[in-house]
Structure 1
Amino acid sequence: MNKLVSIITPNYNSEKFISQTINSVLNQTYKNWEMIIVDDLSTDSSIKIINSFCIKDSRIKLFQLKENSGAAIARNKAISLAKGSFIAFLDSDDLWFSKKLEVQLSFMITNNYSLTYTSYEIINENGVSNGKKIHCKARLDYHRMLYSNEIGCLTAIYDKEILGKVFMPEIRKRQDYGLWLSVLKSVNYAYGLPEVLAKYRDRRESISNNKLEMLKWNWNLYKNIEKLSYFRATYYTLCNVINKLLK
């Protein structure tokens, strides 16, 4: 098992976190990877920080968008440039455990799975765990995923050799959710690895913490990308609300 993995990382003003994120990739026990960082016109010092890593390790590659376009376009640009057999996702403020790639790729290759994800833990802005872990489901199909996005983007890997290159819908938010749904239209299941292999940074000011806004984008995804009826889009949006409350 020595296939190339392309790690997709959008960056926007992540000077506080990007070094930790890159170091979590450098510390991987699985070494055959490329990290494609696409910057969305940052105004802080993150470009300088990323370039300092690029100089030291040619596996880290930086590309810059010409205008601020959002995470979907940044990620899709990275996917278009990817040379790996596997496509993995890691945002610029999240972290991986050192055996993440090794363990997850073994899980995929052994079982011939095309899309997998893992459990992960929550850390605060300062990197301190709050004790909360998100335990993943053993498997998910398209219908189950409509009720709630159960795949943490920082944990997901898909097999490009099986699926081809799959891109995200170019919407401002919930684009990762759209990608998983797209894949699950062509395969029966995505499979979860129960081991905690990543750390999600819960930033109070982040887009994902604006719950009302996220619900609006969920509805948009269901109605305009998945082409569900008005009733079904509303129904699954309400299901998302209930799932969030239960968590």
Structure 2
Amino acid sequence: MKFSVLIAHYNNGDYFKDCFESLQKQTYTDWEAIIVDDYSNDTEKAKVKSLIADDSRFIFYENEENKGVGYTKRKCVELANGDICGFVDPDDAIFPTAIEDSVEAFKHKKNVVLTYSRFMACDENLNPLYPFKAAKQVLNNDPLFFNYPIQIAHFVAFRKEIYLKGEGIDPLLKSAVDQDLYLKILDFGDALFIPKDLYKYRLHPNGVSQATSKGKAKESFAKVIFKTFKRRNIRVINKKAVPENYHNAEEIFKLLDYQTEKAYRLKVKILTFFQAK
């Protein structure tokens, strides 16, 4: 079972060395790394190309102009040759067993279309700071699951054949791209939580996701959720009508506020417990 590591790169040459070395240390060996560069400057591209020059498992592609993260991540999947795919940001890294643990889950759970794990938040030098404790097994076959509040996060892997059944990543998205991917994949099967730290998430001032304004990110996430309403033909949520057209993020998240309440989360926790039986 071949694994495609997908890397959407934009001017992250200095941090990429850690990502590169973490892939070389993987205990699972049947993998490739698809790098799509989103029109970085020549210096940054040269840094990446120099690192991967002697490792044929790394394949480098370039966009002819800056297209944005949605387009670039979609291109990564299109170019992947693996049965299983997983994104790693070029300024992050993964633990040595990340690919092996993910592949094993897919081998033994045929109904699983997506796996995810805990991640470790790290400082600029990838020294551990704290784990992402919100990650937990989600309730499967729930049309009202929108990853709100966020529970599915890195390290995420998915079956490419399942991805191809849907619309794929929205190429116009500038943020909330991962959420768009997760919700579309889960239209076709189950998610499985791997209760281990498999991903190192670097906190630094130049991180793309960290530099994006919270307002724009919230707006993009809301639009992703609204499109999911329509795709799943959801017209009523918690006895409230879903609007025919998108107006603003506040309207969308108000429909889902009940999902952040303790009573609802306890109910889901109980149902998830029995799901595992």
TM-score (ref. length: structure 1): 0.86
Tell whether the 8 Å contact from 2:6 to 2:86 is kept in structure 1 after alignment: yes
2:266 is the alignment partner of 1:235: no
Tell whether the 8 Å contact from 1:36 to 1:61 is kept in structure 2 after alignment: yes
Change (3 A) 1:217 1:68: same
What is the deviation of 1:232? 5.9
CA–CA distance in structure 2, aligned partners of residues 131 and 236 of structure 1: 31
Tell whether the 8 Å contact from 1:10 to 1:40 is kept in structure 2 after alignment: yes
Change (3 A) 1:15 1:224: same
Change (3 A) 1:163 1:224: closer
How do residues 27-176 of structure 1 correspond to structure 2 at under 5 angstroms?
27-43=25-41, 45-112=43-110, 113-141=112-140, 142-152=143-153, 154-164=154-164, 167-170=168-171, 171-176=173-178
Unaligned stretches of 5+ residues in structure 1: none
What is the deviation of 1:217? 1.5
Tell whether the 8 Å contact from 2:162 to 2:188 is kept in structure 1 after alignment: no
What is the deviation of 1:47? 1.3
Q: Aligned with 2:132: secondary structure?
A: strand
CA–CA distance in structure 1, aligned partners of residues 12 and 42 of structure 2: 8
What is the deviation of 1:84? 0.7
One-letter identity of the residue aligned with 2:146: M
User: How far does the alpha carbon of each residue in 1:17-55 deviate from its partner, in whole angstroms, 9 at most, with x for none?
Assistant: 111111111110111111000001112633112212332
CA–CA distance in structure 2, aligned partners of residues 143 and 224 of structure 1: 13
Q: What percent of counterpart residues are identical?
A: 25
Tell whether the 8 Å contact from 1:9 to 1:90 is kept in structure 2 after alignment: yes
Higher gyration radius (CA): 2
User: How far does the alpha carbon of each residue in 1:74-95 deviate from its partner, in whole angstroms, 9 at most, with x for none?
Assistant: 1111111111111111111111
Q: Aligned with 2:117: secondary structure?
A: strand
Q: 1:221 aligns with which of 224, 230, 247?
A: 224
Tell whether the 8 Å contact from 1:146 to 1:236 is kept in structure 2 after alignment: no
One-letter identity of the residue aligned with 1:73: Y
Change (3 A) 1:239 1:58: farther
What is the deviation of 1:159? 1.6
Q: Aligned with 1:139: secondary structure?
A: coil
Change (3 A) 1:208 1:140: farther
Tell whether the 8 Å contact from 1:96 to 1:197 is kept in structure 2 after alignment: yes
One-letter identity of the residue aligned with 2:120: E
Change (3 A) 1:148 1:23: same
2:20 aligned residue: 22
Change (3 A) 1:163 1:208: closer
Change (3 A) 1:116 1:160: same
What is the deviation of 1:4? 1.0
Change (3 A) 1:194 1:135: farther
What is the deviation of 1:179? 1.0
Q: Aligned with 1:178: secondary structure?
A: helix
Q: Aligned with 1:193: secondary structure?
A: strand
Unaligned stretches of 5+ residues in structure 2: 231-241, 263-277
Change (3 A) 1:226 1:32: same
One-letter identity of the residue aligned with 1:185: D
CA RMSD between the two structures: 2.5
